[in-house]
Structure 1
Amino acid sequence: MDIKQIRTLIAIAETGSATKAAELLHLVQPAVSRHIRMLEEECGALLFERERHGMVLTDAGRTLAEYGRRALRELDKARAEIGPAANAISGRLMIGLLASTSSLLATELVARVRAKHPAVTVGINVGYAGNVVQWLEAGEVELALLYDTRASNGLQVEALLDERLYVIGPPGEIDASTPFPLKQLRDRPMILPNAPHGLRSIIEHALAVAGISVDVVAETNALDLQKSLVNKGFGYSILPSSAILDELRDGTLSGAPVGTPDLSRRIVLARAATRRASPVSVAAAPELVGLMKEMVLGGAWPGAAWIGR
């Protein structure tokens, strides 16, 4: 099993075609077929099934492709670190952002990293906290934003900010000038993130402590859908301020901070404790932290309080 064979496996998996993979890898198709045949012989398993729409990975193929992608990422990072430009930061960095913070941070983060380190390619994976933790553990991202996460054997975390949560409703429903008492949600229809989403846990814990029952009419793992359902009058929801800035500004949603009691989440910068930090991630982390600090202290992140360095 060698690198060329693994790259061939992944190219076919992504294109669904040996012919397209051959073009992508600048190989003749018999060489592509030979690489896959040798992999199958070594693994003792069929890696692809040929279907009407192309070549599809088998269960064994998906497992090998997953580990192969990780191996190639590690090799690419090693190659970047030992490259000839000793003083230049180069390579590829994958960052995991929470769905609620991505629209606020992603564009400016890429711009800052690229301006300071033009040889760095920035990749951003966006998901909910559970997804991001899995990406960190699997080595698919090097840096990530999480919330209400503590240091463990697998993660190193640095607390950055506390962000207030907002009750949101259809346009004109909620007065933004005063906090919204949690008790006023009693028996109201609610649209919430799917369990076991971290935000869902925070909301359910707060409601349980306050002795409040609500009518959960819809659950979704899509932030845009959650906001759309609220906009169309299906119910209310609770979201962090960073997720709703644009909607509150343009009036497509109404909202106010949760009050009595106040409700917030803590956002932390996380790294995998078991992996050596690459020069790219060491260089980019201050850019992410600095951007967030500027937004909070400059008022561009309403409802957030800076607690980091």
Structure 2
Amino acid sequence: MEKVNLDQLNTFALVVRQGSFSAAGDLLGLTQPAVSLQIRQLEQRLQVRLLERVAKRVRPTSAGEVLLEHIARINTAVDNALGAMADHAQEIAGVITVGTGATACIHLLPSLLRELKQNYPRLNIGVRTGNTDNMVKAVEENRLDIALVTLPASGRNVQLTPLLQDEFVAIFPADGTNVPVEFTPQGLGALPWVAFEAGSSTRRLIDSWFLSAGVKPMPVMELGSIEAIKEMVAAGLGYSIIPRMALTDLRGRSLTPVLERTLAIALRQDKPLNRALQKVIAGLNGLKQLP
């Protein structure tokens, strides 16, 4: 009897996740007909229909839903086998994919990644950036090996381990214009605010800080890049509130009351901890010692 093809199983899972054959093909580097052929061959092998189209999106059938649960367990078993083999290797080697927010990617990870590359030349670390919800989801679905996220967060079968505290500070143009006497919600609320884009975990924390004092400021602009925010502040277009780790040439003022975020490691509870992943986790834990 012909064995089930692992590539076909993972292609099926990706089609479900993306909601279309063409979107899955773009990620896999395959044409839409090639993706369709893999799904058709899998359905013929299993003798069931796995997908159906609902409101212009591809959805799994009831059989497809059951298969998805098995695929997650199959991938875990494969990871366990690969991890067991890696434990027998003399060198730390392999590919580890880390997810994080853009701020931590720019200001926290470079030195860690440089040190790991110097110590373990055969260890390849890929980095993906995104918001906390997407990072946790990717860890849950085994598309990321590990992620650095902002609490609060939650995910099925995902363990979240607090790593370090990062204070938020207010930044103003270097010429000192529009600097309030107190860096409180009331003192800042009426000033032009260059804010993070709505929906991000950072923006939710800052909004909560204002709302706890009954203040609801209206941003003059909302940007997704912290570097763009800093440029707008430097140009005199307003103030902003950013993580202290992102400070460079702008002076940061502590807020009253203090506003902090907790960065945490997100890892699947059943993730095999091969030697390569253990080194990455140890490196992240070493960030606790940073000033």
TM-score (norm 1): 0.67
1:71-90 matches, within 5 Å, as 75=78, 78-83=81-86, 85-90=88-93
Q: Could you list the per-position Cα deviations for residues 173-193 of structure 1 after superposition, in whole angstroms to 9, with x for gaps in the alignment?
A: 3699x9834432122222322
1:96-175 matches, within 5 Å, as 96-149=99-152, 154-173=157-176
> How far apart, CA to CA, are the structure 1 residues paired with 2:143 and 2:7?
21
- Is the CA contact 2:174–2:234 (under 8 Å) kept in the aligned structure 1? yes
- Is the CA contact 1:230–1:237 (under 8 Å) kept in the aligned structure 2? yes
The CA RMSD over aligned residues, in Å, is 4.1
1:169-188 matches, within 5 Å, as 169-173=172-176, 180-188=183-191
Residue aligning to 2:193 = 190
Percent sequence identity over matched residues? 23
> How far apart, CA to CA, are the structure 1 residues paired with 2:153 and 2:9?
36
Amino acid in structure 2 at the alignment position of 1:267: L
- Is the CA contact 1:146–1:270 (under 8 Å) kept in the aligned structure 2? yes
DSSP-derived class of the 1:239 partner: strand
**Aligned pair 1:262/2:258, yes or no?**
yes
- Is the CA contact 1:143–1:271 (under 8 Å) kept in the aligned structure 2? yes
- Is the CA contact 1:92–1:120 (under 8 Å) kept in the aligned structure 2? yes
TM-score (norm 2): 0.70
Q: CA deviation at 1:239?
A: 0.8
Residue aligning to 1:277 = 273
Residue aligning to 2:21 = none
Residue aligning to 2:95 = 92
Q: CA deviation at 1:200?
A: 1.7
> How far apart, CA to CA, are the structure 1 residues paired with 2:177 and 2:158?
39
CA distance 1:223–1:40, shift in 2 (3 Å): farther
- Is the CA contact 2:93–2:122 (under 8 Å) kept in the aligned structure 1? yes
- Is the CA contact 2:168–2:255 (under 8 Å) kept in the aligned structure 1? no
Residue aligning to 1:59 = 58
Residue aligning to 1:295 = 290
Q: Could you list the per-position Cα deviations for residues 240-293 of structure 1 after superposition, in whole angstroms to 9, with x for gaps in the alignment?
A: 012233xx2xxxxx3422332222222222322243433322222111222x23
Q: CA deviation at 1:135?
A: 1.9
CA distance 1:108–1:44, shift in 2 (3 Å): same
Q: CA deviation at 1:138?
A: 1.9
- Is the CA contact 1:170–1:233 (under 8 Å) kept in the aligned structure 2? yes
Amino acid in structure 2 at the alignment position of 1:202: L
> How far apart, CA to CA, are the structure 2 residues paired with 1:289 and 1:184?
37
Q: Could you list the per-position Cα deviations for residues 86-143 of structure 1 after superposition, in whole angstroms to 9, with x for gaps in the alignment?
A: 4433322121222211112332222222333333221111222222222222222232
Q: Could you list the per-position Cα deviations for residues 54-107 of structure 1 after superposition, in whole angstroms to 9, with x for gaps in the alignment?
A: xxxx7369x99x998996687366325325844433322121222211112332
Amino acid in structure 2 at the alignment position of 1:293: K
Match of 2:233 among 230, 233, 243: 230
> How far apart, CA to CA, are the structure 1 residues paired with 2:168 and 2:112?
23
Q: CA deviation at 1:214?
A: 1.5
Amino acid in structure 2 at the alignment position of 1:282: Q
- Is the CA contact 2:87–2:274 (under 8 Å) kept in the aligned structure 1? no
> How far apart, CA to CA, are the structure 1 residues paired with 2:177 and 2:97?
38
DSSP-derived class of the 2:176 partner: coil
Amino acid in structure 2 at the alignment position of 1:295: L
DSSP-derived class of the 1:103 partner: helix
Q: CA deviation at 1:238?
A: 0.9
